[in-house]
Structure 1
Amino acid sequence: MKLSTDRANPFVRFLLSFWAPTARSMRGWAMASVVVNAGIAVTGAGVRVTGSGLGCPTWPKCTPDSFLPVPHPEVSMINMFVEFGNRLLTFLVLAVGAACVLAVLRLAPRRRSLLWLALLQPAGIVVQALWGGLVVNTMLNPFTVGMHFLISTGLIAACWMLYARSGEGDGPARRVVHRDVRRVAYVLLAAVFVLLVAGVVVSGTGPHSGDVMASRFDLDIEAVARLHADVVYIVVGLTFALLLALHVSNAPRAARRAALGLFAVELAQGVIGYTQYFLAVPALLVLVHVLGSTLVWIATLRVVTSLRTRTPEPVPAAGHSPAEAAAAV
Structure 2
Amino acid sequence: MFAKVRNWPIISSARIPLYVWASLVSQILIVVTGGIVRLTGSGLGCPTWPKCTEDSLITVPEMGLHGVIEFANRLLTFVLALIALLTFLTVLALGKKLRKGLVIPAFILGLGIPAQAVLGGFTVLTQLNPWFVGAHFVLSGIMIAIAALLVFRALPPKHVPVSPAIWRTANPIAIVGAITVLVGVLVTGAGPHSGDAYSERNGLDLELLQHLHSYPGYLLLILALIQLGLLSRRDKEGLERSYQLKVAAWLVVTTIAQAIIGVLQARLGVPAVLVALHMLGAAVICALLAFQWLAIRGKTK
Q: Fold-level match, TM-score > 0.5? A: yes
Out of 195, 202, 215, the residue aligned to residue 217 of structure 1 is: 202
Q: Is the 8 A contact 1:276 1:286 kept in 2?
A: yes
Question: Equivalences for 1:1-329 in 2 at 5 Å?
Answer: 16=9, 18-22=10-14, 25-72=15-62, 76-110=63-97, 111-168=99-156, 176-250=161-235, 253-308=242-297, 310=299, 312=301
Offset at 1:21?
A: 1.1
Are 1:182 and 1:304, in contact at CA under 8 Å, matched by a contact in 2? no
Q: What number of residue pairs does the alignment pair up?
A: 291
What per-residue deviation string (whole Å, max 9, x for no partner) do you get for residues 52-110 of structure 1? 001100000000111011144xxx41001100000000000110000110110111245
Deviations, residues 137-170 of structure 1 (Å, cap 9, x unaligned): 111111000010110111111111111001239x
Deviation of 1:308 (Å): 4.6
Report sequence identity in percent: 36
The residue type equivalent to 2:244 in the other structure is A
Distance 1:258 1:237 in 2: 15
What amino acid does structure 1 have at the position aligned with 2:256? L
- Say if 1:309 and 1:53 are closer, same or farther in 2 by CA, change over 3 A: closer
Structure 1 contact 168–309 (Cα < 8 Å) conserved:
no
CA distance in structure 2 between the aligned counterparts of 1:295 and 1:309, rounded to whole angstroms: 19
Kept in 2, the 8 Å contact 1:195–1:228? The answer is yes
Counterpart residue type for residue 48 of structure 1: R
> Which portions of structure 1, spanning 4 or more consecutive aligned residues, are displaced by more than 3 angstroms?
248-252, 308-312
The one-letter amino acid of 1:296's match is I
SS at match of 1:307: helix
**1:29-59 deviation line (CA, Å, top 9, x unaligned):** 1111000010001110110000000110000
Contact 2:23-2:84 at 8 Å conserved across structures: yes
Q: Distance in 1 between matches of 2:298 and 2:168?
A: 16
* Paired letter, 1:19: I
* Higher alpha-carbon Rg: 1
8 Å Cα contact 1:175/1:308 also seen in 2: no
Deviation for aligned residue 1:215? 1.0
Cα RMSD of the aligned pairs, angstroms, is 2.1
Q: CA deviation at 1:248?
A: 3.3
TM-score, normalised to structure 1's length? 0.83
Distance 1:67 1:154 in 2: 29
CA distance in 2, matches of 1:215, 1:175: 50
Q: What is the DSSP-based 3-state SS (H/G/I as helix, E as strand, rest coil) of the residue aligned with 2:201? A: coil
Deviations 1:174-208 (A, max 9, x none): 87212442231121011111111111100100100
Q: What SS does structure 2 have at the residue aligned with 1:208?
A: coil
Higher RCO (Cα < 8 Å, 6 or more apart): 1
